Structure 1
């Protein structure tokens, strides 16, 4: 009799848990629709120390300039010392915020740890980390050699691990922080001439999702993560874009991309595409037959042609 009562209690507890899950799921759907109409207010980043990789040009430079305009301290990191110094000089000449330049090969754990020690002592604890540095060779898989693929993963994937290993502990000590990972639309859909690149950006996507779960499960819910999936950005990496409907999906500028990234950070978005509509379109087509999705992608005609490095 006691066993039957225990079983009944277990069943009742499970039913209550399922009911709560259904109610919460309904609330989350309503909240999602509401936030699409009325977005979350943007948080202040005035007191933040923002470290951005790849600030010598393109999206990284635009991010550094725009974060500085919002009065954040900006730590600019790039392997190209000269172009990185130019970014910092531009910020310090026209912004009240202070910018700092550091040369670092982010693909090297040793170099990143040395960077972490310098930034900690000279600037302070990084509270917003933007992993932006990346490379994008555009050619068929068989045209890649081992060295190129390893270099691509060293910069596009392993650098994220080394930066997290170095700067995440400081955020955990403060019990606050924000990590931004630059993936790509190529981290959502596979594209020809970008096989290793797509694989690296899919990896960044998985890394971000897993880190969210790990931090939440370990009590670090105030450390936020945002994964960004830009469409083709006019930075020079995408030298031969194929766009069938350029008026519908034009190349986006580094400046507009940076603006949307910063807005996503200030609203604590978990992920977003640039333009934002692409995420919704992708989610819809993940629910239809695969052949239908492939036909739609072929109709849109997006991608890149192969070119020499």
Structure 2
């Protein structure tokens, strides 16, 4: 234990250097990478965030492989992407069905992570939520699934680094409440409910500049730091101040039902 403490103390100069480096980088705009001609697989592309993300990659002339369980929605998205000048291939896929995923994978131009690792090239984006970093009452199932998504991103990132596959990039999207209708009339003092277009804009910037964690708005990042540093009693007061509210939550019944 004493050796560990001493080793940590010896790392303090490096910590100061890296903090200064991060501060300086925050003032220098990072060059965006090109994704023209790259194969981009988007799940849930038949609606919402997935559809808008497909449109943005289409504008950048990526080759799109679009998955959704809704045949009509995915075909509409693909048609619009083609109008934007991109190659787009639509597949009806149930991402909860393992056989369906493997069957569809054989029809595309990539075999996903194994091929990315062999080529040491690619970018994997995990869509999570601010609820993957902090809990919200009456959103237990949702928070649990998003904590799992954030954990998957972090574990995958570390595993790729341990294997020396630094060419395979990872990003995790963690937005606040989005105006998609999933939760009715959400509100919080962290900021107004986000519009899907705003979230996709931040997502594209984060992917193209290879951000590891994409918080929308950026104040969510501060909240995650506070959660790890401050006492539990203070956090309970802080959460009351953040004042998360909504009218109804899918999966829960109101009293009397």
Give TM-score, length-normalised by structure 1: 0.75
| 1:89-128 mapped onto 2 (5 Å cutoff) | 89-93=79-83, 95-119=84-108, 124-125=109-110
Tell me what 2:244 maps to.
302
Distance 2:235 2:8 in 1: 36
CA displacement, residues 72-108 of structure 1 (integer Å, 9 cap, x when unaligned): 1121110001011111111112x12211111100111
Tell me what 2:72 maps to.
82
Distance 1:280 1:39 in 2: 21
Distance 1:118 1:109 in 2: 15
Moved over 6 A (4+): 15-18
Tell me what 1:249 maps to.
191
Q: Could you say what secondary structure the match of 2:248 adopts? A: coil
Alignment match of 2:63 (pick from 68, 73, 80): 73
Q: Between Structure 1 and Structure 2, whose CA radius of gyration is higher?
A: 1
User: CA 1:27/1:200 → structure 2, altered by over 3 Å: closer, same or farther?
Assistant: same
Distance 1:17 1:223 in 2: 30
User: CA 1:82/1:218 → structure 2, altered by over 3 Å: closer, same or farther?
Assistant: same
Greater RCO structure (CA 8 Å; 6+ sep): 1
Tell me what 1:163 maps to.
none
| 1:1-309 mapped onto 2 (5 Å cutoff) | 19=10, 21-93=11-83, 95-119=84-108, 124-125=109-110, 167-241=112-186, 243-245=187-189, 249-307=191-249
CA displacement, residues 198-251 of structure 1 (integer Å, 9 cap, x when unaligned): 00100111111111111111111111111111111112212241x254xx6111
Point out where structure 2 has 5 or more consecutive residues left out of the alignment.
Answer: 252-257
Q: What is the RMSD computed on CA atoms of the aligned residues?
A: 2.1
Q: What is the count of residue pairs matched by the alignment?
A: 247
Distance 1:22 1:291 in 2: 30
Tell me what 1:148 maps to.
none
Tell me what 1:145 maps to.
none
User: CA 1:26/1:80 → structure 2, altered by over 3 Å: closer, same or farther?
Assistant: same
What is the CA distance between 1:282 and its match in structure 2?
2.5
Q: Could you say what secondary structure the match of 2:106 adopts? A: helix
Distance 2:245 2:116 in 1: 38
Distance 1:224 1:216 in 2: 10
Distance 1:197 1:281 in 2: 19
What is the CA distance between 1:304 and its match in structure 2?
3.2
Indicate conservation of the 8 Å contact 1:192/1:304, yes or no: no
Q: Could you say what secondary structure the match of 1:41 adopts? A: coil
User: CA 1:244/1:237 → structure 2, altered by over 3 Å: closer, same or farther?
Assistant: closer
Indicate conservation of the 8 Å contact 2:47/2:73, yes or no: yes
Q: Could you say what secondary structure the match of 1:118 adopts? A: coil
CA displacement, residues 24-67 of structure 1 (integer Å, 9 cap, x when unaligned): 33332112111222232211111211111111111111100011
